[in-house]
Structure 1
């Protein structure tokens, strides 16, 4: 994601919910939009992209990045405005 697009998403989410928590700018490429939790808008990030960014930029193995993400990011509840993390699924109708 282009930095300008990430900044636009950050601004839009901030306008919709001033208290929405956003991850460090490092994860801007993983910001995919917002979700609703109990009628409140929160930032939504791609789980896979977050892990990929850790592998690419922090020189972690996939296993290290997954463990770091799950413990330090996914496992961090900082209140009702905490971001959500989306696991994107793909479906191939040619396989069953």
Structure 2
């Protein structure tokens, strides 16, 4: 696969993630169990970017309540800094109020 991701590369969620991971040269750190929540790659530092809401949904699919999943995700995933290649977690559902504060 080339370093360019085409629409043909992105046929399923797993293939999207593999295509994104294969474009990274420095070996980013992955958040184990959250491959289906990968939404991109940090352009400058080549860190994997995850959708935080999707990560919480994955934890719920594994049997946690929403509150348990949110607490686990916040404490054990987001706050787990493991060096400069630590993944990035983003909230894609934000209000325009964030832009005016």
TM range (shorter): 0.7 to 0.9
Alignment map for 1:1-96 (pairs within 5 Å): 1-12=12-23, 14-15=24-25, 18-24=26-32, 26-36=33-43, 39-56=44-61, 58-89=62-93
Structure 1 residue 41, shift from structure 2 partner: 2.2
Higher strand share: 1
Q: How far, CA to CA, are the matches of 1:40 and 1:4 in structure 2? A: 22
Query: Gaps (5+ residues) in structure 1?
Result: none
TM-score, normalised to structure 1's length? 0.78
Secondary structure in 1 aligned to 2:42?
strand
Q: What root-mean-square deviation, in Å, do the aligned CA atoms of Structure 1 and Structure 2 show?
A: 1.9
Count of residue correspondences: 85
Q: How far, CA to CA, are the matches of 1:41 and 1:4 in structure 2? A: 18
Higher helix share: 1
Q: How far, CA to CA, are the matches of 2:82 and 2:41 in structure 1? A: 17
TM-score, normalised to structure 2's length? 0.74
Secondary structure in 1 aligned to 2:47?
strand
